[in-house]
A and B are shown apart, each in its own frame.
Chain A
Amino acid sequence: MTLVENVLLGAAAAFVLTSLVALYRIVDGPTMPDRVIAVNVIGSNVVIVIALLAAAIGEPGALDIALVYALLNFLLSIAISKFTVERGGVL
């Protein structure tokens, strides 16, 4: 294990910890958009963790997975916010 790999793995662990903190907002969140924001944060954290692991274990193909995951994450937020209002003009 080189130093760079250790740093990247440690950063991935820290991002997993912040996702666990955001889980509190999903459980507690008084309103529905609160939960959507927390889910969005966890989604971007997952994208970052996949990219960090791709760099740390030397598997560059995982970056494609991260790109597709980022697209799906954005689509989820837009779709939820578009279909929860009546006339759907959110952007």
Chain B
Amino acid sequence: MTPRELAVLGLAAGGVFFALVAAVGLVRLPDLYTRAHSTSKSETLGAVLTLSAVALSFGTTMSTVKAVLLLVFMFITNPTAAHAITRAAAEQGIEPWTKEDDGQ
């Protein structure tokens, strides 16, 4: 195995791990704001790691530049979209979860 193959493997494994963490958070966390937190952070990191694996696997061509552009775009827009959605939810009057809601 060359160092490049090792790096692609490691980055792809890290990306899949963080995407799985985001999916678990999306299903298991108690309310909208915590779910948005989980997806906007973990999912963005997973996307960035996986797309850097893609960029690395192309070698040095024009496609690498496109993959890096895609990476930067997702790094900027993913948290922005989550912020816009949660802010719209807050303006609609959806209350954040507190510990009392859980019956404790």
- Chain A residues near B (Cβ < 8 Å): 3-4, 7-8, 10-11, 14-15, 18, 21-22, 24-25, 31, 33-34, 36-38, 40-41, 44-45, 47-48, 51-52, 54-55, 60, 63-64, 66-67, 70-71, 73-74, 77-78, 80-82, 84-86, 89-91
- Whole-angstrom distance from the CB of B6 to the nearest CB of chain A? 10
Tally inter-chain residue pairs, CB-CB below 8 A.
160
Is A33 touching B19 in the complex (CB atoms < 8 A)? no
- Whole-angstrom distance from the CB of A50 to the nearest CB of chain B? 10
- Chain B residues near A (Cβ < 8 Å): 1, 5, 8-9, 12-13, 15-16, 19-20, 22-24, 26-27, 32, 35-36, 39, 43, 46-47, 50-51, 53-54, 57-58, 61-63, 66-67, 69-70, 73-74, 77-78, 80-89, 91-92, 94
Is A52 touching B80 in the complex (CB atoms < 8 A)? no
- In the complex, which of the residues B16, B70, B86 contacts A63, with contact meaning CB atoms closer than 8 Å? B70
Sample 13 A-B pairs with CB under 8 A, ordered by A number. A8-B8, A8-B54, A21-B24, A21-B27, A44-B47, A44-B78, A48-B19, A63-B70, A74-B80, A78-B81, A80-B85, A80-B88, A86-B91
Is B85 touching A15 in the complex (CB atoms < 8 A)? no
Is B92 touching A85 in the complex (CB atoms < 8 A)? yes
- In the complex, which of the residues B35, B77, B86 contacts A70, with contact meaning CB atoms closer than 8 Å? B77
Known: A8-B53, A44-B78, A60-B58. A77 touches B84 (CB 8 A): yes
> A15 vs B46: C-alpha distance in the bound complex, in angstroms?
10
| B82 partner residues in chain A, CB cutoff 8 A | 37, 40, 77
Is B94 touching A31 in the complex (CB atoms < 8 A)? yes
| A74 partner residues in chain B, CB cutoff 8 A | 77, 80-81
Is B80 touching A36 in the complex (CB atoms < 8 A)? no
> A69 vs B80: C-alpha distance in the bound complex, in angstroms?
16
Is A67 touching B70 in the complex (CB atoms < 8 A)? yes
